[in-house]
Structure 1
């Protein structure tokens, strides 16, 4: 309310009396939150990419006096302030950042607008960038980039799949070779154990045979030392004759040769 052309007081909600004609209401507005649609405008990002940006702004008047006397046409001033700040904040970002950091852009706009609007008795409660539309050339370039990225990812996935396949095949071959080696190792161990058992049994049989022959010779009146030597000689000659017999039984013409010591040994045993 102005009295005689000067500010006198501010009126709140309810019934008030104004002394006319010395008093008049020079400015009135609502203290509720209001919405202002910011028209689209052309902007340029930090990397000189053209963008068309529009926003919406939510504001509330908290001081009617400041809104009336500190600025002329407060809504027009807020609109121009928002347009300027949108251009400025978009210009600080690259094209990729402008699309990926929409929330951060809104926060920076809100902070920069409130720095000025508080002096006008206005509180900006929220600012939202509604659309960011690049030019047709930028859209075409973005589509090409997205297509290239998709092809790149597909190639990487394919190569990783082939790599995993080769690794699995190599691991399979390695496991198969290891299993084969283990099987051969076990087979060799079993064969060695069987051979050792065979040799042990054979040695035990030879020992029993020598002892039996020696006992027979002792019963004929020989001493134990002589009997043992004769038993060993007899068993050796018997093995030699067995080997010669197997040789003679094989196919083909053979000439069997008996060394003199063998003949003498046989003669001695027969005596």
Structure 2
């Protein structure tokens, strides 16, 4: 009888130990699952915040461009044609300098080495384009 009671105690102890091990494994797995969920949500929020920041930067740049275009438009309305021509010439020269830095083939005018010729050419192009876009008076 004593051995049967001892065996029964041993059996209950083994069952309790195995249930404890099982519960411990479940707790570890639940903890890992929760950690992965939180890490995933953190990455998601990071991507969302980055996208929102990029969108705000694009909007700010567009607003700045619109403001500068509006300023140019007002200057042109007050006979600021020369200032606009100068700005176009500067952009023209800047574009040429950027093209020359890349390994591309360029077809340049014969007098491309003379900055004054480039400016004159840019201003002529601008004047031709702006005069063709102005409404014709009848």
Equivalence for 1:54: none
Match of 1:248 among 86, 96, 99: 99
Provide the alpha-carbon RMSD of the alignment: 3.5
Residues 128-151 of structure 1, C-alpha deviation per residue, up to 9 Å, x if partnerless?
A: xxxxxxxxxx32122112211111
Higher relative contact order (CA 8 A, sep 6+): 2
CA distance, structure 2, for counterparts of residue 174 and residue 205 of structure 1: 47
Match of 2:54 among 191, 195, 208: 191
Instruction: Give the deviation of 1:159 after TM superposition.
Output: 1.1
CA distance, structure 1, for counterparts of residue 108 and residue 12 of structure 2: 90
Instruction: Give the deviation of 1:213 after TM superposition.
Output: 2.4
Structure 2: runs of 5 or more not aligned: 110-121, 132-138
When residues 257 and 146 of structure 1 are mapped into structure 2, their CA distance, relative to the original with a 3 A threshold, is farther
Structure 1: runs of 5 or more not aligned: 1-137, 221-230
Residues 160-217 of structure 1, C-alpha deviation per residue, up to 9 Å, x if partnerless?
A: 0111011011101211221121122112212211221111011111111122123215
Instruction: Give the deviation of 1:245 after TM superposition.
Output: 2.3
Larger Rg: 1
The answer to which structure has the higher strand fraction is 1
Residues 96-133 of structure 1, C-alpha deviation per residue, up to 9 Å, x if partnerless?
A: xxxxxxxxxxxxxxxxxxxxxxxxxxxxxxxxxxxxxx
Residue 21 of structure 2 is aligned to residue 161 of structure 1: no
Equivalence for 1:59: none
Q: How many residues align?
A: 116
Equivalence for 1:114: none
Residue 7 of structure 2 is aligned to residue 144 of structure 1: yes
Residues 49-83 of structure 1, C-alpha deviation per residue, up to 9 Å, x if partnerless?
A: xxxxxxxxxxxxxxxxxxxxxxxxxxxxxxxxxxx
CA distance, structure 2, for counterparts of residue 170 and residue 239 of structure 1: 60
Q: How does 1:21-60 map to 2 (within 5 A)?
A: none
CA distance, structure 1, for counterparts of residue 43 and residue 90 of structure 2: 40
When residues 193 and 156 of structure 1 are mapped into structure 2, their CA distance, relative to the original with a 3 A threshold, is same
Once superposed, which parts of structure 1, at least 4 consecutive aligned residues long, lie more than 6 Å away?
A: none
When residues 209 and 153 of structure 1 are mapped into structure 2, their CA distance, relative to the original with a 3 A threshold, is same
The answer to which structure has the higher helix fraction is 2
Equivalence for 1:202: 65
CA distance, structure 2, for counterparts of residue 185 and residue 246 of structure 1: 38
Residue 131 of structure 2 is aligned to residue 268 of structure 1: no
CA distance, structure 1, for counterparts of residue 91 and residue 105 of structure 2: 16
Residue 42 of structure 2 is aligned to residue 179 of structure 1: yes
